[in-house]
C-alpha cells in the first residue's frame, strides 16, 4: 500500500497530493473554528434558561442561591479575577527572573536541569496541586496569614485586604495558581529572550554595560511585547484552572476585600455543583462556562494580537 | 517460535478451564446460600452500568462485590457522580439504573424514556459533628442548629446552646461552620430537615446547594467537611454517619419530633424509617420522623430503574441484584455503616421488584 502511494506520488500524482494536502490543512484550520463555534452555540443554548431568567442580573448580581432559583455570577467572576491576579503578581516576576537566569546568567551545565525541572512542574496534574494545597500547604500558610493579619490589623486598606487566617482562601488559590502557571510563562519568556539578536546584546556589552544594564537596555525593550503575550497565556490558564482552585479557594461565593478569606471561582463552582444540579441551576452553571469561555477567548485574542505584533517586528529585523 | 507457542496455548486453555471451574463453583455456592426469592438459575452474562448518588456508594460497592462472587457472569459498575448526574444519565439512557438521594421532580418526569420505579435500598443518619475542646457530649435542638448554621449564634457558650444542654460547661470558643462545597444530596437532606423542623428560624431554604453565609467554611465531599471539623477547634458541620465515624468525630444528639434528644445511630435511623408514611411508589420522607427513638436527620436513598427493561439479560441481572439487596444485602448494610430497611418497607420493595417487565 505504501509502495502504491509512493508510486502515485512520484508519477503525476504529486500535484494532486499537493492540492489534497492544502485542502487537508484548510480543513483542519476550519475545523478548529467550527468546533469553537459549535461549543459556544451548544453551551449558549443549554445556558439559555438561566440567561433568560436572570438577564443582565446573571453578570451583575452576586447572589447565588440555587435553592431559591437565584443565579448571579458576579461573586464567581470576582473570585476568578482576584485569584488570577494574585497568581500573576507572584508568577510573573519569578518567571521573568527564571527565564533571564536560564538564557543569560546560568552556566551551561545548569541550564538543562533547570529547564527540565520547569517542564516537569508543568506536567504535574492539577488535582495533585489541589490536594497538596488543601492537605499540606493550606494548613501551614494559614499560620503565616494569621501573623500577617495581626501585623496589619487596624491599618486602613492593608488591614482590610490582609484580614483573616483561612487556609482555603483567595490567597492560597492564587499561590497555587502561581506555581502552576510559572512553567508556562517561564518557557515562553525564555523563547522570547532567546530571539533577542546577538549584535544588540554585544553592542550593549561593547558600550561597557554591566550585565544588568545589558538586560535592561538590550533585552527587555526588545522582548516587551513577547512577554505580554506570555503573561496573557498564563492568565488564560489561571482563569480556566478548575480542580486545584475548587479544592483550595474555599467555595463560599463572596465578594470581599480580604484575601485571606474563602471565596469561589467560576470553573471551580461548575466542577463542584454540576453533579447535583438540575433545571435552571444546571443551565446557570453552563452559563458560567459560557461567560468564562468568552473571557478566556478575549484574553487569548489579546495575547495573539500582542504576540503577533512581536513576531512581525522580529521578522522584520532578523 | 512455533515451538514456544504451543505451551502458551496449552497454558491459556488450562487457565480458561480453571476459570470455568471457578465460575461453576461460585454459582453452586450461590444456589445453596441464597435467601432470595428468585430462581438462581444461572444468569446470562450482562453488564449493568449505573451512576448517581455518592452517599450510598460504599454500600453499593460492598453489595456489588459480594453479588459478583455469586454471579460471576454479571458485571455491575456503579460510577457515582451525584444524584443529579444519575438521574440525567437515566433520562438519556446512558445507564441501566441510577442511584438517587432525592425524588424526581414532577416537571422532569416527562424527560424519562418511560415509567420508572423507586427502589429504596438503605438509609443512614447525617450527623451534626463538632469539635470543641472541653465538650464531650452535646445536645442540640433543630432551632439551635438552624441558628448556628445561619451564623446567628457565634460562640459555643451562647444561651441557646446552654438551654439545650442544662448543666453543661460550655467554653466561649468561636463557632466555625463547615458545609459542603460541592452540590450534594447530604446538603439537600440536612437543609430539608432544618426547613421542616425549624420552619420559623431557618431562612436558607433547602437544596443541594444553598446560599450559606459568607463567614463559613466549605469542604469537598463528606470527608472534606469532616476534615475541617477535625482540624479546627470550635467547628461544627454535617457529615454522613460513615465518614464521621471513620474520621473519629464526636456528634451531637439531636432533638426529634417527639422532643427527645436522640444519638445518631443505625438503630435511630431504622426507627425513623419505621414511623414514616410510605407512598405507593415507595417514596418516603424519613426526615423529622415521628417516634421516640427516631433520629430526625435520617437520609433515604433509592435506586431508579425503568419499569420496562429492554434487554432480557440486563433485566434479569437487575432483578437478581435488587433481590440480593433486599436479601443478603440488608445484612451487609451495618458493616458499612448504613441502616437496613424496616420489614414493612422491605416487603413492599421486594414486591415491587416483580413489577419490572422483562422481555421473554
What does the pLDDT look like over A290-314, one tens digit per residue? Answer: 999 999 888 878 777 776 665 555 5
| Interatomic CA distance for residues B28 and B33, integer angstroms | 9
Does B259 score more than 80 pLDDT? yes
Alpha helices in chain B (DSSP H): 2-33, 57-70, 83-92, 142-149, 159-164, 185-197, 221-231, 241-247, 266-274, 312-324, 330-333, 343-353
Query: Quick check: B205 contacting A, CB < 8 Å?
Result: yes
Query: Quick check: B216 contacting A, CB < 8 Å?
Result: yes
How many C-beta atoms lie closer than 10 Å to residue A12's C-beta? 10
Confidence of residue B322 (pLDDT cuts 50, 70, 90): very high
pLDDT at B6: 43
Does B66 score more than 90 pLDDT? yes
Does B134 score more than 80 pLDDT? yes
CA distance B188 to chain A (A): 9
| Interatomic CA distance for residues B336 and B9, integer angstroms | 43
| Interatomic CA distance for residues B168 and A256, integer angstroms | 37
pLDDT at A309: 67
Instruction: Dump pLDDT digits (tens) for A62-87.
Output: 999 888 889 999 999 999 999 999 99
Instruction: Dump pLDDT digits (tens) for B277-316.
Output: 999 999 999 999 999 999 999 999 999 999 999 999 999 9
Query: Quick check: B188 contacting A, CB < 8 Å?
Result: yes
Please identify which residue in the block is written with the cell numbers 458545609: B179
Residues 6+ apart with CB under 8 A from A77: A59, A266, A291, A295
How many C-beta atoms lie closer than 10 Å to residue A139's C-beta? 14
Query: Quick check: A273 contacting B, CB < 8 Å?
Result: yes
Q: In Å, how far are A124, A135, B221, B239, B246 from A139, measured between CA atoms?
A: 21, 7, 18, 21, 21
Confidence of residue A12 (pLDDT cuts 50, 70, 90): low
CA distance B52 to chain A (A): 9
pLDDT at A156: 87
CB contacts of A282 in chain B (<8 Å) are 84
Q: For B225-250, b where at least 16 C-beta lie within 10 A, e where not — what string?
A: bbbbbbbbebbbbbbbbbbbbebebe
Query: Quick check: A247 contacting B, CB < 8 Å?
Result: yes
CA B110 to chain centre: 26
Q: Is the Cα torsion angle A166, B240, B281, B284 positive or negative in sign?
A: negative
Element (H, E) at B52: strand B46-52
Element (H, E) at A31: helix A14-54
Does A93 score more than 50 pLDDT? yes
pLDDT at B2: 43
Does B133 score more than 90 pLDDT? yes
Which has the minimum average pLDDT: A51-60, A300-309, B89-98, B321-330? Answer: A300-309
Q: In Å, how far are B33, B297, B332 from B343, measured between CA atoms?
A: 21, 21, 16
| Interatomic CA distance for residues A265 and B218, integer angstroms | 13
* DSSP-derived 3-state class of residue A222: helix
| Nearest CA-CA partner of B298 in B282, B279, B275 | B275
Q: How many CA atoms lie within 13 A of A36 on its CB side?
A: 10
Does B184 score more than 50 pLDDT? yes
Backbone angles phi, psi at B305, to 5 degrees: -145, 150
pLDDT at A10: 56
Cell of A134: 488543601
Please identify which residue in the block is written with the cell numbers 420505579: B117
pLDDT at B11: 43
Average pLDDT of the residues in B227-231: 93
CA A37 to chain centre: 22
| Interatomic CA distance for residues B296 and B262, integer angstroms | 8
Does A161 score more than 50 pLDDT? yes
Query: Quick check: A156 contacting B, CB < 8 Å?
Result: no
Share the mean pLDDT of chain B: 88
CA B134 to chain centre: 32
> What is the percent of chain A with per-residue pLDDT over 90, rounded to a whole number?
57
Enumerate residues 229 to 268 of chain B having a beta carbon within 8 A of any beta carbon in chain A: 231
Does A125 score more than 60 pLDDT? yes
Q: In Å, how far are A69, A75, A205, B129, B188 from A72, measured between CA atoms?
A: 10, 8, 57, 31, 21
pLDDT at A303: 72
Average pLDDT of the residues in B210-226: 91
Residues paired with residue B119 on neighbouring β-strands, in sequence order = B303
**Reported pTM:** 0.81
pLDDT at A277: 85
CB contacts of B91 in chain A (<8 Å) are none
Please identify which residue in the block is written with the cell numbers 517561564: A186
Does B162 score more than 70 pLDDT? yes
| Interatomic CA distance for residues B295 and B274, integer angstroms | 11
Of B82, B107, B217, the CB nearest to A275: B82
Cell of A86: 494574585
CA distance B192 to chain A (A): 11
B212 contacts A66 by C-beta, under 8 angstroms: no
A125: left (phi over 0), alpha (psi -120 to 50) or beta: beta
| Nearest CA-CA partner of A83 in A179, A11, A6 | A179
CB contacts of B84 in chain A (<8 Å) are 274-278, 282
Does B39 score more than 80 pLDDT? no
Does B136 score more than 90 pLDDT? yes
Q: Is the Cα torsion angle A160, A164, A170, A171 positive or negative in sign?
A: positive
Q: Give the mutation candidate from B209, B210, B301 for the A interface (greatest A CB count, under 10 A).
A: B209
pLDDT at A314: 52
pLDDT at A264: 94
Backbone angles phi, psi at A70, to 5 degrees: -105, 125
Of B182, B183, B214, the CB nearest to A252: B214
Does B37 score more than 80 pLDDT? no
pLDDT at B169: 93
CB contacts of B211 in chain A (<8 Å) are 63-65, 67-68, 70
Q: Give the mutation candidate from B104, B184, B220 for the A interface (greatest A CB count, under 10 A).
A: B220
Average pLDDT of the residues in B155-182: 95
Average pLDDT of the residues in B22-35: 40
A176 contacts A107 by C-beta, under 8 angstroms: no
Share the mean pLDDT of chain A: 88
Query: Quick check: B73 contacting A, CB < 8 Å?
Result: no
A12: left (phi over 0), alpha (psi -120 to 50) or beta: left
B221: left (phi over 0), alpha (psi -120 to 50) or beta: left
Q: Is the Cα torsion angle B291, B294, B295, B296 positive or negative in sign?
A: negative
Alpha helices in B94-170 (DSSP H): 142-149, 159-164
Confidence of residue B107 (pLDDT cuts 50, 70, 90): confident
How long, in residues, is chain B?
360
A249 contacts A86 by C-beta, under 8 angstroms: no
Q: Give the mutation candidate from A46, A145, A276, A283 for the B interface (greatest B CB count, under 10 A).
A: A276
* DSSP-derived 3-state class of residue B253: strand
CB-based contact B209 A247, cutoff 8 Å = no
For B67-105, give the DSSP string: HHHH-TTEEEEEEEE-HHHHHHHHHHTSSSEEEESSPPP
Torsion angle of C-alpha atoms B42, B44, B47, B50, degrees rounded to 10: -60
Instruction: Dump pLDDT digits (tens) for A172-223.
Output: 999 999 999 999 999 999 999 999 999 988 999 999 989 889 998 889 888 8
- Bigger pLDDT: B125 or B40? B125
Q: In Å, how far are A145, B97, B307, B309, B318 from B38, measured between CA atoms?
A: 62, 19, 18, 17, 12
Does B327 score more than 60 pLDDT? yes
| Interatomic CA distance for residues B328 and B332, integer angstroms | 7
Amino acid at each position: 500500500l505504501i509502495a502504491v502511494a509512493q508510486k502515485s506520488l512520484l508519477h503525476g500524482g504529486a500535484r494532486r497530493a499537493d492540492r489534497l494536502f492544502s485542502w487537508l490543512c484548510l480543513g483542519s484550520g476550519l475545523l478548529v473554528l467550527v468546533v469553537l463555534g459549535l461549543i459556544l452555540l451548544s453551551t449558549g443554548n443549554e445556558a439559555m434558561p438561566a440567561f433568560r431568567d436572570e438577564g443582565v442580573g446573571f453578570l451583575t448580581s452576586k447572589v447565588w442561591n440555587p435553592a431559591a432559583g437565584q443565579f448571579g455570577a458576579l461573586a464567581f467572576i470576582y473570585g476568578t479575577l482576584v485569584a488570577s491576579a494574585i497568581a500573576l503578581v507572584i508568577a510573573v516576576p519569578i518567571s521573568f527572573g527564571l527565564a533571564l537566569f536560564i538564557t543569560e546568567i546560568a552556566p551551561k551545565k545548569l541550564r538543562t536541569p533547570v529547564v527540565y525541572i520547569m517542564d516537569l512542574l508543568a506536567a504535574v496534574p492539577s488535582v495533585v496541586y489541589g490536594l497538596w494545597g488543601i492537605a499540606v500547604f493550606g494548613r501551614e500558610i494559614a499560620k503565616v496569614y494569621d501573623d500577617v493579619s495581626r501585623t496589619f490589623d487596624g491599618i486602613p486598606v492593608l488591614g482590610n485586604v490582609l484580614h483573616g487566617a483561612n487556609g482555603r482562601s483567595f490567597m492560597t488559590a492564587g499561590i497555587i495558581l502561581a506555581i502552576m502557571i510559572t512553567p508556562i510563562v517561564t518557557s515562553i519568556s525564555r523563547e522570547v529572550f532567546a530571539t533577542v539578536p546577538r549584535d544588540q546584546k554585544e553592542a550593549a556589552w561593547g558600550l561597557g554595560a554591566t550585565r544588568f544594564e545589558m538586560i535592561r537596555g538590550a533585552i527587555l525593550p526588545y522582548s516587551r511585547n513577547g512577554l505580554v503575550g506570555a503573561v496573557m497565556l498564563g492568565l488564560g490558564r489561571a482563569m480556566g484552572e478548575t480542580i486545584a482552585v475548587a479544592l483550595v479557594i474555599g467555595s463560599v461565593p463572596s465578594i470581599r476585600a480580604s484575601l485571606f478569606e474563602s471565596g469561589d471561582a467560576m470553573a471551580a463552582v461548575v466542577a463542584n455543583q454540576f453533579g447535583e444540579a438540575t433545571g435552571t441551576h444546571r443551565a446557570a452553571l453552563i452559563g458560567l462556562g459560557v461567560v468564562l469561555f468568552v473571557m478566556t477567548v478575549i484574553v487569548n485574542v489579546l495575547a495573539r494580537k500582542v504576540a503577533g505584533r512581536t513576531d512581525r517586528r522580529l521578522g522584520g529585523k532578523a | 517460535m512455533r515451538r514456544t507457542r504451543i505451551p502458551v496455548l496449552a497454558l491459556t486453555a488450562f487457565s480458561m478451564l480453571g476459570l470455568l471451574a471457578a465460575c461453576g463453583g461460585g454459582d453452586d455456592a450461590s444456589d445453596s446460600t441464597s435467601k432470595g426469592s428468585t430462581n438462581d438459575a444461572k444468569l446470562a452474562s450482562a453488564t449493568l452500568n449505573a451512576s448517581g448518588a455518592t452517599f450510598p456508594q460504599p454500600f453499593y460497592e460492598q453489595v456489588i462485590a459480594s453479588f459478583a462472587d455469586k454471579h460471576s457472569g454479571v458485571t455491575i459498575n456503579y460510577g457515582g457522580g451525584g444524584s443529579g448526574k444519575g438521574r440525567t444519565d437515566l433520562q438519556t439512557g446512558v445507564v441501566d439504573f441510577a442511584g438517587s438521594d432525592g425524588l424526581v421532580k414532577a416537571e422532569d418526569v416527562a424527560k424519562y424514556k418511560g415509567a420508572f420505579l423507586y427502589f429504596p435500598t438503605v438509609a443512614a443518619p447525617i450527623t451534626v459533628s463538632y469539635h470543641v475542646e472541653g465538650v464531650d457530649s452535646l445536645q442540640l435542638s433543630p432551632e439551635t442548629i438552624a441558628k448556628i448554621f445561619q451564623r446567628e449564634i457565634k460562640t459555643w457558650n451562647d444561651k441557646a446552646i446552654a438551654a439545650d444542654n442544662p448543666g453543661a460547661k460550655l467554653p466561649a470558643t468561636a463557632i466555625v461552620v463547615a458545609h459542603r462545597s460541592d452540590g450534594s444530596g447530604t446538603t439537600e437532606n440536612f437543609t430539608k430537615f432544618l426547613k421542616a423542623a425549624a420552619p420559623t428560624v431557618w431562612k436558607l431554604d433547602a437544596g443541594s446547594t444553598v446560599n450559606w453565609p459568607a463567614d463559613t467554611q466549605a469542604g469537598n465531599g463528606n470527608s472534606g467537611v469532616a476534615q475541617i471539623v477535625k482540624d479546627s477547634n470550635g467547628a461544627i458541620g454535617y457529615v454522613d454517619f460513615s465518614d464521621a465515624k471513620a474520621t473519629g468525630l464526636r456528634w451531637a444528639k439531636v432533638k426529634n419530633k417527639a422532643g427527645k434528644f436522640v444519638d445518631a445511630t443505625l438503630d435511630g435511623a431504622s426507627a425513623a424509617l419505621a414511623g414514616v408514611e410510605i407512598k405507593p411508589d415507595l417514596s418516603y420522607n424519613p426526615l423529622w420522623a415521628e417516634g421516640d427513638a427516631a433520629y430526625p436527620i435520617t437520609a433515604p436513598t433509592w435506586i431508579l430503574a425503568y419499569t420496562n427493561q429492554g434487554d432480557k439479560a440486563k433485566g434479569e441481572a437487575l432483578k437478581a441484584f435488587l433481590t440480593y439487596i433486599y436479601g443478603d444485602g440488608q445484612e451487609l448494610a451495618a458493616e458499612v455503616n448504613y441502616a437496613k430497611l424496616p420489614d414493612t418497607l422491605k416487603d413492599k420493595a421486594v414486591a415491587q421488584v416483580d413489577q419490572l417487565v422483562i422481555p421473554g
